[in-house]
Amino acid sequence: MADLGGAAPGAVAGGLVAEYVGLLVPFWGTTASVGLLTVVTRRPIVTTERL
Q: HEC states along 10-49?
A: HHHHHHHHHHHCCCCHHHHHHHHHHHHHHHHHCCCCCCCC
DSSP classification of residue 50 = -
pLDDT in tens, 4-48: 788 888 889 888 988 888 888 888 988 999 999 888 888 766 667
Kind and range of the H or E element at 2?
A: helix 2-20
For 46-51, what is the mean pLDDT? 65
Closest by Cα among 43, 5, 13 to 29: 13
pLDDT, residue 45, reads: 67
pTM of the model as a whole: 0.54
